[in-house]
Amino acid sequence: MSPRLPRDTSGAELAKLLAAFGYVVTRQKGSHLRLTTQEGGEHHVTVPNHDSLRAGTLHGVLKDVAEHAGVTRDVVAEKLFG
């Protein structure tokens, strides 16, 4: 069973946590942050810079990061939220 994701994660918080996978904020347009990593090849994810991310949005970002890193979403969630 997958670990429960926190319900109160903000976009800025998630951007900081994703540094564990080499992501850095490369631009901001309106209320969205674009994060890029060079680890394992260049990869971008877009994160809404909202106070509280919706569960589906958080799930989608983690899934995208996991696919690029070649691991499961649960591994990413565990590393970020332990």
Which domain CATH number covers 65?
A: 3.30.920
Q: CB count, 10 Å around CB of 7? A: 10
Strand extents, DSSP E, 7-60: 24-29, 32-37, 43-48
Is 4 a domain residue? no
In our burial notation (b when 16+ CB lie closer than 10 A, e otherwise), range 32-67 reads ebbbebeeeeebebebbbeeebeeebbeebbebbbe
Which domain does 30 fall in, by range?
11-81
Instruction: Give the span between the Cα atoms of 53 and 10, in whole angstroms.
Output: 6
Gap between the Cα atoms of 59 and 42, Å rounded? 21
**pLDDT given at position 16:** 96
How much is the pLDDT for 7?
A: 86
Q: Give me the average pLDDT of each 10-residue run along the chain (82 residues).
A: 81 95 95 95 96 94 96 94 88
Residue 15 lies in a domain: yes
Count of domains observed in the chain: 1
Residue 3 lies in a domain: no
